[in-house]
């Protein structure tokens, strides 16, 4: 099977002024597209050809001989999850059920935001920050490069992309400002 790009759930300029249409056109139209295109080339004639994205991630994770397939499949999945982790009407308070869990596991929504931001800012080099569920408990984690909670048996709930391509055109080196904008204005609870 050949993978196709998912549609963005909003227009490329819908997240302005926090993420510009220019950033989205490169991020969605070039970076994300390249992961999908590369994956489609890499799986031709392999056992991965008939698998879902999640199955490819599970089968290729932690296997050096499949590193390229894992990297491209995981980046395709991570980006699709990231597009849906944002909304033009994002920010504000979490929906009630999630808010209750956040208060239970982090103390308060503010405390969650502080810890999430610290994880996103401290991820050295390229990667992702995540809110995940681990056996019924919410946790924050960060992953490097293409790594994804799916490869660790955890259920992702929200993510922010902290590769420089996600924010450099709009924020240059100010990753913390980008993460704050994500948390305050874009996060899709």
Smallest gap from Cβ 16 to Mn ion, in A, equals 18
Strand partners, 187: 86
Nearer of residues 30 and 111 to Mn ion, judged by Cβ: 30
Smallest gap from Cβ 188 to Mn ion, in A, equals 16
Nearer of residues 74 and 166 to Mn ion, judged by Cβ: 166
Task: Give the C-alpha distances (Å, rounded to integers) separating 63 from 57, 66, 70.
Answer: 10, 6, 8
According to DSSP, the β-strands at 137-144 and 127-134 are: antiparallel
Smallest gap from Cβ 6 to Mn ion, in A, equals 14
Nearer of residues 24 and 43 to Mn ion, judged by Cβ: 24
Read off the DSSP letter of residue 187: B
Nearer of residues 161 and 170 to Mn ion, judged by Cβ: 161
Looking up tokens 């490329």 gives 12
Smallest gap from Cβ 166 to Mn ion, in A, equals 5
Cα–Cα distance, 97 to 10 (Å, whole number)? 25
Smallest gap from Cβ 90 to Mn ion, in A, equals 18
What is the arrangement of strands in the sheet containing 137-144, beginning at the earlier edge strand? 137-144, 127-134, 155-161
Interface contacts to Mn ion, rule CB under 5 A: 161, 163, 166
Nearer of residues 8 and 166 to Mn ion, judged by Cβ: 166
Task: Give the C-alpha distances (Å, rounded to integers) separating 104 from 109, 120, 177.
Answer: 10, 22, 27
């Amino acid at each position: 099977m050949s993978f196709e790009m998912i549609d963005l759930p909003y227009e490329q300029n819908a997240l302005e002024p926090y993420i510009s249409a220019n950033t989205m056109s490169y991020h969605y139209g070039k970076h994300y597209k390249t992961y999908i295109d590369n994956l489609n080339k890499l799986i031709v004639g392999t056992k991965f050809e008939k698998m879902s994205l999640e199955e490819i991630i599970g089968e290729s994770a932690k296997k050096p001989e499949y590193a390229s397939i894992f990297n491209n499949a995981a980046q395709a999945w991570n980006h699709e999850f990231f597009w849906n982790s944002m909304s033009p009407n994002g920010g504000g308070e979490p929906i009630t059920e999630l808010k209750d869990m956040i208060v239970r596991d982090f103390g308060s929504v503010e405390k969650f935001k502080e810890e999430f931001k610290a994880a996103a800012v401290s991820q050295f080099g390229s990667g992702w920050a995540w809110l995940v569920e681990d056996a019924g408990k919410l946790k924050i984690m960060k992953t490097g490069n293409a790594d994804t909670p799916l490869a660790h048996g955890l259920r992702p709930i929200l993510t922010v992309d902290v590769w420089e391509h996600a924010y450099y055109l709009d924020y240059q080196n100010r990753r913390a400002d980008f993460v704050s904008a994500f948390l305050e204005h874009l996060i899709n609870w």
